Structure 1
């Protein structure tokens, strides 16, 4: 099978029962994506597949043959961090750091979904542009758990990137 992960092509010969999370961690040594619950309930394994966020523990790698995958390692690097990574640092949007990669990747995906006018359960107008209020951000990030309860700082970090991208006219 063929995967493009963080812009690099990989040809893999794997057991068809292998999850995408296990391929990333065990076959490609990309350990930023965390194995939390292994049941899709915590969000620690969140990655982007073709620009959309998914829980990598719930999908088989063979289902993504030819897909473009982005992990936390693909968003930025030391000295050249993604805006969301910088914002999490600035707002102290982490404590132990275990959930942080999934939170950051999920936040980037969530801003893309909002930009494309995907509604959430708390979106008032299903036909218009969703206002990313704190309640809207919290709802959209509800699939990512933080056992240290850094939620207010995470919302602040996301809001800062959202506000900056709106002001600059750039995508987050």
Structure 2
């Protein structure tokens, strides 16, 4: 009997921890996209944990969604250091317009594992929400990935 999990020569199986996480995120995205549940904070947190949880430096990403909140594209836009990443509203607006997104969910990781939103996290969320509001794009959430992901929307900060 052939067992595909034992066959190490199969090239389509992930070989590193980051590849495993990326594969898991792809599976979740496919499942969620068909079920239209990216408005569910827990499902979104799971997806983003797999996408960003393995990084050793801060990465800021944007889930760009259509009007039914189905994922058009997840894009990692900014890469920082172990405790900060510079985020530029102009670049976020350009990316959103490129794919004609109707709504977005922001995300970034805290490599320290501490998911509490900083004052800078709250400020950039406000700036981005204002910038995207000018072009009628809704900000649904900003999720910070750490040991336990935090949704700013669930905390009433969006």
Shared fold (TM-score greater than 0.5)?
A: no
Q: What TM-score, normalized by structure 1, do the two folds share?
A: 0.26
Q: What TM-score, normalized by structure 2, do the two folds share?
A: 0.28
Q: Which has the higher helix share?
A: 1
Q: Which has the higher strand share?
A: 2
